[in-house]
């Protein structure tokens, strides 16, 4: 895990969202939740690029051992705390509280804190962490936004039926649900997922989106109703480390981009929910690309100046049945032979 920096310089925009720090002095906290690959980082980047005028600090939590998300969040290089190698709702709660403590007690404390939780996190447990901490008055929950991959919400239920329970808990704790990726889902699926959420939850606000494009005003300054965080809301039974597994592949060799995407589409085991990383791909000149895959969908996009390095590093997250040897063989097959 790496911890660095504290808060951002005052933006020069005149349009400010009222974040509502209020008399209590508690710093408003927005939690972005949602399952792996739903579009949380995409939403976070929209928030950060949105010119809301708030001095916001960002906490990014990746379940894997490398915090890829930290490289994908744009525009807050010195203002982000990266919490990797565990989930903030259960395994690295102390790191979360410590990071927030550092932020709020710094010389220039942020006006707002945005936490992108890991895709397997239970937001109720995150909030319970603050309630159980030494200084529960440091932060005030401003709102919880849950990003849903509308196309894939019901995927993987054969391998892990309890996944739907986790997704339901993420949605159920939210003030706002962003039904994302409606471009991939199509109207019938969108209507179906909407109905499913409506019948399951009371009074949750739902917006549909492509690339998490939702108005900023509805994301910040929600001032959600007080909710009593109870430590009983922590997940019972297996810990995330027992339910989910991560696997990392590193190589100095070049990938054949077509084989890589074809392998993900055809052969990636159903136990793998998400892959992401930076890869060196073969071409006229080797190129550094960002690999993103959610289920069997994948994209390779030029990495630009992000995460400059000469080797490739991919993280996969899946069920505890994930087979490291099999994955190693599959990814190795996509390397260019010398
Ligand atoms: N087609 C389509 N792709 C999207 C949309 N929103 C996000 N994506 C893509 O989905 C992938 C995952 O998006 P992220 O924002 O990284 O998802 P995430 O929830 O932060 O992922 P984790 O942090 O790994 O859980 C990326 O390749 C995005 O470009 C959308 O509305 N439509």
CA of 36 to the centre of ligand 1 (A): 9
Least confident of 115-124, 184-193, 275-284, 304-313: 304-313
pLDDT bracket for residue 234 (50, 70, 90): very low
Nearest partner of 2 among 49, 70, 53, judged by Cα: 70
Q: Is the pLDDT of residue 320 over 60?
A: yes
| Confidence (pLDDT) at 18 | 58
Q: What is the pLDDT of the chain when averaged over all its residues?
A: 83
CA of 68 to the centre of ligand 1 (A): 13
CA dihedral 300→43→56→277, nearest 10 degrees, is: -20
Q: Is the pLDDT of residue 172 over 70?
A: yes
CA of 249 to the centre of ligand 1 (A): 21
Q: Is the pLDDT of residue 189 over 70?
A: yes
Ligand 1 neighbour 146 (Cβ under 6 A): no
Q: What ipTM was assigned to the predicted interfaces of this complex?
A: 0.99
Q: Return the best residue to mutate from 32, 41, 122, 297 for the ligand 1 pocket (most ligand atoms within 8 A of CB).
A: 41
More confident residue, 121 or 20: 121
pLDDT bracket for residue 40 (50, 70, 90): very high
Ligand 1 neighbour 212 (Cβ under 6 A): yes
Q: For the sheet containing 139-149, what is the strand order?
A: 80-83, 56-61, 112-116, 27-33, 139-149, 176-180, 205-208
Fold of 242-332: Hypothetical Protein Yjia; Chain: A;domain 2 (3.30.1220)
- Read off the pLDDT of residues 61-111 as tens digits, 9 standing for 90 and up: 877 766 677 677 765 555 677 777 677 777 778 888 888 888 888 888 899
| Confidence (pLDDT) at 304 | 79
**What's the rounded Cα separation, in Å, for the pair 180 and 38?**
7
| Confidence (pLDDT) at 137 | 81
For the chain, give every domain's residue range: 27-233, 242-332
**What's the rounded Cα separation, in Å, for the pair 304 and 309?**
11
Ligand 1 neighbour 186 (Cβ under 6 A): no
Q: Which CATH number fits domain 27-233: 3.30.43.10, 3.40.50.300, 3.30.450.20, 2.60.40.10?
A: 3.40.50.300
Atom of ligand 1 at shortest distance to CA of 211? Answer: 31
Nearest partner of 176 among 98, 123, 110, judged by Cα: 123
Atom of ligand 1 at shortest distance to CA of 210? Answer: 31
Ligand 1 neighbour 36 (Cβ under 6 A): yes
Task: Give the residue, by CA position, lying nearest to ligand 1 atom 14.
Answer: 39
Ligand 1 neighbour 180 (Cβ under 6 A): yes
Q: Which residues, listed in sequence order, are joined to residue 57 by a DSSP beta bridge? A: 113
């Amino acid at each position: 895990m790496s911890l660095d920096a504290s808060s951002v310089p005052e933006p020069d925009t005149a349009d400010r969202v009222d974040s509502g720090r209020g008399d209590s002095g508690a710093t408003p906290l927005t939690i972005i939740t949602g399952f792996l690959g739903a579009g949380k980082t995409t939403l976070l980047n929209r928030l950060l690029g949105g010119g809301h005028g708030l001095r916001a600090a960002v906490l990014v939590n990746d379940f894997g051992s490398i915090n890829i998300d930290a490289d994908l969040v744009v525009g807050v290089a010195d203002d982000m705390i990266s919490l990797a190698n565990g989930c903030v709702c259960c395994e690295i709660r102390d790191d979360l509280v410590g990071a927030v403590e550092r932020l709020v007690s710094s010389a220039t404390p942020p006006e707002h804190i945005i936490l992108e939780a890991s895709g397997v996190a239970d937001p109720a447990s995150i909030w319970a962490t603050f309630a159980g901490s030494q200084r529960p008055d440091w932060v005030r929950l401003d709102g919880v936004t849950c990003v849903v991959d509308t196309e894939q919400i019901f995927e993987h239920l054969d391998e892990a039926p309890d996944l739907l329970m986790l997704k339901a808990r993420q949605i159920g704790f939210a003030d706002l649900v962003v039904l994302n990726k409606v471009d991939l889902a199509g109207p019938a699926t969108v209507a179906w997922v909407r109905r499913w959420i409506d019948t399951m939850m009371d009074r949750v606000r739902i917006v549909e989106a492509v690339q998490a494009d939702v108005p900023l005003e509805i994301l910040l300054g929600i001032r959600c109703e007080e909710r009593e965080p109870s430590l009983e809301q922590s997940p019972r039974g297996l810990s995330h480390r027992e339910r989910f597994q991560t696997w990392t592949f590193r190589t100095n060799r070049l990938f054949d981009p077509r084989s890589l995407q074809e392998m993900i589409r055809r052969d990636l085991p159903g136990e793998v929910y998400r892959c992401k990383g930076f890869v060196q791909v073969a071409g006229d000149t080797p190129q550094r690309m960002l690999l993103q895959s959610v289920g069997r969908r994948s994209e390779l996009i030029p990495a630009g100046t992000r995460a400059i390095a000469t080797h490739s590093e991919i993280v996969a997250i899946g069920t505890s049945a994930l087979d490291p040897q099999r994955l190693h063989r599959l990814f190795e097959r996509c390397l260019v032979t010398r």
